[in-house]
Amino acid sequence: MNAPAGPLRPLLLPLARGFEWIAMALLIGATSLIMAEVIGRGLFNLGLPWAGELARYCGLGVIFLTVPLLLARGGHVRVDLFLNLLPGAPRRVGDLLNEALTLLFCLLFLVSCYGFMQRAGRFSTPALGIPNLLYYLPAIAGMALTTLVAVDRLLGALLGRTAPEAQPDH
C-alpha cells in the first residue's frame, strides 16, 4: 500500500532522512560502547557506568529518530486485515480514522513528555550528569517530527494523495 502523502512531504522527508543518518551514527556508538563495557568487565574486571548510560542514550536515539521516516514510508506495523475487506467509502473512512488516531497518539506522547519533563527536567543522569532534557531530546525531537509526518499523512489521506510506490523517497 502506498503511504498517504500530503503537501508537507517534500519538506519533511529530508529532515527524516537526516534523523536516520544521526540514528545510524548512534547505532555505531551504542555498539561500540556496549563492546567496551563487555571487554572492560570481562578482561579487566572494570565497570563502566558511563558507557552504559551513553549506550542507553544512543539506543533511545536510534529508536525515536528512525520513527519519522518509517511512518513517512508506511513501513510501520499495521494491522489492516479488516480494513482491507472494506469497500470504497468505508475503507476511506477507516484509513482516515487510522491516520487521525496515529496523530492523536503522537500528540498524547508529546503532551505526556512535557508533563514528564516538568518533573524529571530538574535532574541529571547519574553517571555523567547529563541534564534529563538533553538526555531525552532524541525522543522529543523524533516524536515532534513524527507528529508532523502524521499531520502530513492525514492531509494526504484527506486529499487522496499517496507517495508513488515505485519511486523510493531517498
CA dihedral 74, 79, 84, 87 (to 10 degrees): -100
State the pLDDT at residue 165.
64
pLDDT tens per residue across span 44-92: 999 999 999 999 999 999 999 999 999 999 988 877 888 889 999 999 9
pLDDT tens per residue across span 131-140: 999 999 999 9
Q: State phi, psi for 90 to the nearest 5 degrees.
A: -60, -35
Sequence-ordered list of residues with C-beta below 8 angstroms from that of 80, at least 6 positions apart, any chain: 1
pLDDT tens per residue across span 109-150: 999 999 999 999 999 999 999 999 999 999 999 999 999 999
Average pLDDT, the chain: 93
User: Are the beta carbons of 100 and 154 closer than 8 angstroms?
Assistant: yes
